[in-house]
Amino acid sequence: MNTKLSRRVLLQGILATTTALATMRAFPAMAQQSGGTLNVGLTYELDTMNTYSTGFLADAQHTVIEGLIAPDKDARYVPVLAKEVPTLDNGGIVLSDDGSKMTITYHLQENVKWHDGEPFTSADVKFTWEAVKDPAFIAESKDGTQDIDSIDLPDDYTVVCNYNTVKPNFASTLFTFGIMPKHLLEGTDLNTSSYNETPVGTGPFKVAEFVRGQYVVLDKNTDYWRTAENGDALPYLDRLVFRIVTDSNTLLTQLQSGELDMAVSVPYGRASQLEGVEGLEIIVGPQLSWGHLDFNFRNELLADVNVRKAVAHAINRETLIRVQGGFPIAIKSLVLPIFDLYDDATPEYAYDPAAANALLDDAGYARGGDGIREKDGKRLSFAFVIQSGRADDENVQQVIIAQLKEIGIEATADNKAGVAYREARYNGGYDLIYGRWITSADPVYSTFYGSEGENNGQGYSNPELDVVFARLENTLDAEERKAAASEMQRIIAEDLPAIALTQGVSVIAKPVELKNFVPNPTNMTNFVDTKEWYLEG
């Protein structure tokens, strides 16, 4: 009996060793390793798995569904379900004879299957447009649906969108966010459909389980249509789990205990706590958001460009960054450096209180008894609005108030909550206002600084700039756009309707073994391209 058992154990041992050796031999030949689960912490409540309905970023959702194109790490569009990004050069975009309309043609990948095995076709793209446009569907954004008059489907793999306008930023809306399966959703009520819990997509991961308030489990799509360059089947990871952990203390504890492997939004003030945690590394990624100080032009003192320039010279961005944990990045243009349209030659107002004082002296603003400047009996005293309850913003406000005081300008905190803040911002209920904008990969700047801009609450109007906006936002010609964007940045920097201060960043904690992860700065989230992520070792 004993002998028999020993022999069996021995045999098993030999078998195991052989397998292990064989595997070890196989590893060096493989570029990446397959398998493994990645546990990701979400700091917000996952409200729905439908990317068109959520008010939050759609981190988990973008691993499941795919769009025709997607922004990459540099906020440039790359093809996904479309074979190429339509442009004027490749014939994907055609302008009407009078240049007032355009037609965009997408050629689709032909070997794509939905998670249920049905083929993906052009009909799904048209259905997505119709479904999102439908007034009965409560969507987070219907942006872009109204710009399309009709969609023609010459065959299963060609989509022709007939626009009623020329829209250079077409890519940042609609089809980029994801395509919905017509064969499953046609005739259903999208507001109450089970699609909102378990969406069927074409992406590298499938929804295995969505438990409200707890987690969503995403399993590898073994039938995924894309392969790696070396021929490997994708995705590499077996499983992605998004766990909802809204308390930042607990998030940190779980990263330390190994219950979570990754978090993409570590609070600025807490990042240092994760230093030295074994197996974790901290990455700082850019984000398409910028902090800005705006002036209200209805106040005649602020309508004086000398005052605005003095304010610009008085603010030390380094201090602003320091009070925000050292994370944001100083900027000088409202176009973030990551964009192709950014022009590094944009004029800059260096921190220079002496220059600020000189500007105000020359313009006739003399210091009064309390150190605050005045001219013709009018004091340089302003109401300074921010959205209350945001610690970072409040710190920034305090710094700016102190720095303005140095040059004889009084700013008084007038913080407003929620609706009141937005009311003030839209209607100009402030003298100075600080806030942050978060944009897509293709922002429209006229909304902020155009005379008729939707988000221009400051009463700013510059006909010269309006002409530049018209050029920038109605042309598809890359060179023309670049030239117009440079012109726009120069005018805004010189005329200063607002001062661009800092760019936001995302602080990401990830396992050291996770490879091929590249932070994505866009609203398509860091999870827009997970297919080649793998765990090493």
Partner 1 sequence: MSLGFIIRRILGAIPLLLGISVILFVIIQLAPGGPLDMYAENPSVSKEALAQIAARYGLDQPVPVQYFMWLKAIVVGDWGYSIRTGRPVLDEILLRLGPTLQLGGLAMIISLIIAVPVGMISAARRGSKLDGTVTVLSFAGISTPVFWLALLLQLLFSVQLGWLPSAGYQSIGDGSFLDRLRYIIMPASVLSLATVASWSRFIRSGMIDVLNQDYIRTAYAKGRGEKAVLFLHALRNAMIPAVTVIAVDFVTIISGAVITETVFAWPGIGRLFMESMNGRDYPMLMGLMMMGSLAIVAANIIADFCYAALDPRIRYD
List the one residue from 62, 167, 243, 481 that touches partner 1 (CB under 8 A): 243
Contact 340/385 with Cβ under 8 angstroms?
Answer: no
List the one residue from 20, 233, 438, 470 that touches partner 1 (CB under 8 A): 438
* CA distance linking residue 356 with residue 409, whole number of Å: 11
Give the total of residues touching partner 1 (CB under 8 A).
52
Q: Give, as ranges, the residues between 197 and 236 that touch partner 1 (CB under 8 A).
A: 209, 211-215, 217
Q: Give, as ranges, the residues between 139 and 168 that touch partner 1 (CB under 8 A).
A: 141, 143
- Residue 245 interacts with partner 1 (CB under 8 A)? yes
- Residues, the chain, total? 537
> Helices 391-406 and 305-314 meet at what angle, rounded to 10?
110
Q: How far is the CB of 208 from partner 1 (least distance, A)?
A: 9
Nearer to partner 1 among residue 181 and residue 435 (C-beta): 435
Q: How far is the CB of 244 from partner 1 (least distance, A)?
A: 6
Nearer to partner 1 among residue 408 and residue 450 (C-beta): 450
Stretch that binds partner 1, among 13-21, 47-55, 149-157, 349-357 (CB under 8 A): 47-55
Contact 416/387 with Cβ under 8 angstroms?
Answer: yes
* CA distance linking residue 297 with residue 307, whole number of Å: 12
Q: How far is the CB of 485 from partner 1 (least distance, A)?
A: 17
Q: Count CB neighbours of 311 within 10 A.
A: 27
- Residue 138 interacts with partner 1 (CB under 8 A)? yes
Longest CA pairwise span in the chain (Å) = 109
Nearer to partner 1 among residue 6 and residue 146 (C-beta): 146
Q: Give, as ranges, the residues between 358 and 387 that touch partner 1 (CB under 8 A).
A: 387
- Residue 253 interacts with partner 1 (CB under 8 A)? yes
Contact 36/142 with Cβ under 8 angstroms?
Answer: no
- Residue 19 interacts with partner 1 (CB under 8 A)? no
- Residue 35 interacts with partner 1 (CB under 8 A)? no
List the one residue from 454, 480, 494, 536 that touches partner 1 (CB under 8 A): 454
Strand 102-107 to 93-95 pairing: antiparallel
Cα-flanking dihedrals φ and ψ of residue 105, to 5°? Answer: -110, 125
- Name 286's bridge partners: 505
* CA distance linking residue 457 with residue 424, whole number of Å: 8
Q: Which residues contact 342 (CB under 8 A, 6 or more apart)?
A: 333, 335, 336, 485, 489
213: left (phi over 0), alpha (psi -120 to 50) or beta: left
Contact residues: partner 1, CB under 8 A:
45, 47-48, 53, 55, 138, 141, 143, 191, 196, 209, 211-215, 217, 241, 243-247, 249-250, 253-254, 256-257, 259, 289, 387-389, 417-422, 426, 435-440, 443, 447-448, 454-455
